[in-house]
A and B are shown apart, each in its own frame.
Chain A
Amino acid sequence: MAIKSLDDLRKIKEKANAESSARHESGTQVIVGMGTCGIAAGARTVMTAIMDEIAKRGLKDVSVMQTGCIGMCQKEPLVDIVRPGEERITYGNVKPADVPRIISEHLVNGRIVSDLVVAKL
């Protein structure tokens, strides 16, 4: 592949930055509870579903992080969505099937999926 112009460089740059997005500060954070309780309740499959959904939609500027037990073990798996400048919303009892809705509604369009919300911080 011969890079012939600034434009070619820009394209490579965008692709590379997307691939290494985990290393840059992102606007939106998805935080999955990964305590023993969360994992026991199926947090790993939820997280994988989140990753898939982000990839499918080609979302940029999103980082997926984990956290430990926050004490609401009965509501695990817990998933927090933090959009820049907005409240941190915690969804509970999240199943993989809920993930596309949370991503498309809340993460992309800013509409909170009220029926799954367990807390607002």
Chain B
Amino acid sequence: MEMLARAHVLVCGGTGCSSSGSKVIIPELQKKLKDRGMEHEVKVVETGCHGLCEMGPLVIVYPEGTFYVRVQPEDVDEIVETHLVKGRVVERLLYKEPKTRETVPNYDEIAFYKKQQRYALANCGHINPESLEEYIGADGYAGLAKAISMTPEQVIDEIKASGLRGRGGGGFPTGMKWQFTRAAVGDKKYVICNADEGDPGAFMDRSVLEGDPHRIVEGMAICGYAVGADEGYIYCRAEYPLAIKRLKGAIAQAEENGLLGQGILGSNFNFTLHIKEGAGAFVCGEETALIASIEGRRGMPRPRPPFPANSGLWGKPSNINNVETFANVPAIMRDGAAHFASLGTETSKGTKVFALTGKINNTGLAEVPMGITMREIIYDIGGGIPDGKKFKAVQIGGPSGGCLPEQLLDLAIDYESLTKAGAMMGSGGLVVMDETTCMVDIARYFLNFTQDESCGKCTPCREGTKRMLEILNNITSGNGKEGDIEKLETLAKSIKAGSLCALGQTAPNPVLSTLNFFRDEYEAHIKEHKCPAGACTALLAYTITDKCRGCGLCKKVCPVDAISGEIKGMHVIDQSKCIKCGACQEKCPFKAIDRG
């Protein structure tokens, strides 16, 4: 029998770590191990995303479970010589808790992971995503095997009992959706996986597809069995080449091994899968636009009803779920609905993956049980705000979501609570903002995104978001007028009420929620021409105080000759010339230049 590797070195090959350099670490490791004659003793495994992307490239050495962060190619030698040969931990590459600055050698002990409950992401970072055997080793396809030993109705009942709801944003009960498609009349039905992840900063779907592609294949096959479909499409944006590659690999492996195709697992259930690459239009995440895009038409939503469950892809009944939703399905089938339903809140069961970005120490992916508070996510998992700054708000739910202020940090997160607070679960993007973030500017940023991504089909979204953006541009550039806030509110109301699809119906949310919690910031911009956060450059003014000693450094450094003054005399900034670059302030040795 072949010698089993005594140690496994897991190198994260997710997109985050790849872009920070993990791609070169793997060959480097393999080369060093070979030089040492240890290539059979130590196995190098490329895994999917571990979630702590901020710290990438990540390398984990088993059996100890030592967690190395920001590993560079030049660190490989030391890992091999010190850790793998001599069994000593390379201290300097260990993770340090942002709060305590203590080093933490082991994966399980890192605060970022401690409060997480990895359900959908259970395999991500722990198995080789290109290995069917490793997926099966992690109990993969046991859910599918169990499902096809049941009746389709029983499978749907199980999903219903789990309380699983759509993870793509809407939060519609998944079991009910499946039942609609099952009940729809049609000789041909489809299962569609929405992998058109488009919220800025959200990448949980990509992580699953890259790190555990078989889980999606299995989840979709279970769904196909339940709804009576024999064909499925994964609509994945073309900007996810690694995800597409892994999915293609997984589909091919599943086909070769009788887990897709005709007579799956010896039953008479047939199911095939195709990948459709989307061109990355945000609106194609809307199910009817997505279906149009698969059909080869322009990706534009159409009014519902009819819902895809009755008339979807090529007019056939189609069940469409998001990646994370499908990722939950295999484990629900395998371990039973009760386990899943034991997690979360009354109305929102299970876990949710959040993408932590913005002014937060641990940016990355965190899967937490529903009902966790925002405070726990931001401070315990996310490690708090960097540079000792003060927390101001968190934007949750992507461009359709809203900004929640400090007083809502202890809100237990679930679908209902977020909607009630003026945000939404969305796909789970969390953008943390500190005191230097201007809330008007944030609203402007998200509106700029939605108006840019509007498909242009319906009037309120096409024309209305443009007008809202223009008003916000005016406000942040110092040209706000009395009545602008009221106009924003009028437009927001009509766009929400009158738009054709969810993109438009939710586009005003970032404006409405910031108006709700940070109205004073809007007013300061408009009435006082001031940006309280000091973020809107157009509203900034640099002024020289009486601390000025007349050294003339500021005058020298000013790129537009806006500063005048005699040596040893007080200097003055001509506001009409100043471009607010801040160079003078940086240069002033006497801190005599105020910004505000």
Binding site for B on A (CB under 8 A): 1-6, 9, 12-13, 15-23, 25-26, 29, 32, 34-36, 39, 44, 47-48, 51-52, 54-56, 58, 63-68
Contacts and interface: CB of A to CB of B under 8 A. Distances in A.
A36 B82 CA distance: 10
A1 B1 CA distance: 21
B109 interface: no
8 contacts: A2-B257, A22-B62, A23-B63, A35-B86, A44-B85, A64-B7, A66-B86, A68-B87
Contacts of A4: 258, 265-266
Contact of A23 (B10, B85, B133, B258): B10
Nearest to B42: A22
Contacts of A54: 3-4
Given A2-B258, A4-B258, A63-B63, A12 B133 contact: yes
Contacts of B257: 1-3
Contacts of B3: 51-52, 54-55
A32 B127 CA distance: 27
Contacts of B7: 22, 64
B137 A63 contact: no
A5 B1 contact: no
Contacts of A26: 63
A79 B139 CA distance: 34
A22 B6 contact: yes
Interface in B77-107: 84-88
A47 B5 CA distance: 12
Contacts of B132: 12
A9 to B, nearest CB: 6
B64 A65 contact: yes
Contacts of A56: 1
A23 B265 CA distance: 29
B52 interface: no
Contact of A39 (B86, B142, B258): B86
B136 interface: yes
A74 to B, nearest CB: 19
A9 B142 contact: yes
A39 B87 contact: no
B53 interface: no
A67 B136 contact: no
A19 B133 CA distance: 10
Residue of B10, B88, B137, B145 ringed by the most chain A CB atoms within 10 A: B137
B85 A39 contact: yes
Interface of B: 1-8, 10, 41, 43, 62-64, 84-88, 126-127, 131-134, 136-137, 139, 141-142, 145, 256-259, 265-266
B137 A12 contact: yes
A13 B136 contact: yes
A36 to B, nearest CB: 8
B1 A22 contact: no
Contact of A13 (B85, B126, B137): B137
Nearest to B149: A6
B312 to A, nearest CB: 30
A90 to B, nearest CB: 15
A64 B6 contact: yes
B272 to A, nearest CB: 15
A66 B133 contact: no
A68 B41 contact: no
Contacts of B43: 22
A55 B1 contact: yes
B263 to A, nearest CB: 9
A48 B145 contact: no
A72 to B, nearest CB: 15
A26 B257 CA distance: 30
B231 to A, nearest CB: 20
Contacts of A23: 8, 10, 62-63, 126
Nearest to B7: A22
Contact of A68 (B64, B88, B139): B88
Contacts of B62: 22-23
A12 B87 contact: no
Contacts of A63: 6, 63
A25 B7 CA distance: 12
A2 B84 CA distance: 38
Nearest to B88: A68
Nearest to B135: A16
Contact of B259 (A3, A36, A48, A51): A3
A2 B261 CA distance: 11
B41 A51 contact: yes
Contact of A3 (B85, B131, B137, B258): B258
A1 to B, nearest CB: 6
Contact of A5 (B4, B64, B139, B266): B266
A17 B136 CA distance: 9
B258 A12 contact: no
Contacts of A5: 145, 265-266
Given A22-B8, A36-B86, 9 more contacts: A6-B265, A13-B137, A16-B134, A29-B63, A34-B87, A35-B86, A64-B63, A67-B87, A67-B88
Given A20-B8, A39-B86, A55-B3, A9 B266 contact: no
Residue of B6, B86, B126, B258 ringed by the most chain A CB atoms within 10 A: B6
B123 to A, nearest CB: 12
A15 B136 CA distance: 10
B141 A9 contact: yes
Residue of A13, A44, A67 ringed by the most chain B CB atoms within 10 A: A13
A71 to B, nearest CB: 14
A18 B213 CA distance: 22
B87 A65 contact: yes
B63 A16 contact: no
A17 B266 contact: no
A9 B5 contact: no
B90 to A, nearest CB: 12
Contact of A22 (B63, B88, B266): B63
Contacts of B137: 12-13, 15-17, 19-20
Contacts of B64: 65
A77 to B, nearest CB: 12
A55 B2 contact: yes
Residue of B3, B7, B131, B136 ringed by the most chain A CB atoms within 10 A: B136
B86 A20 contact: no
Nearest to B5: A22
A16 B43 CA distance: 14
Contacts of A52: 3
A54 B63 CA distance: 16
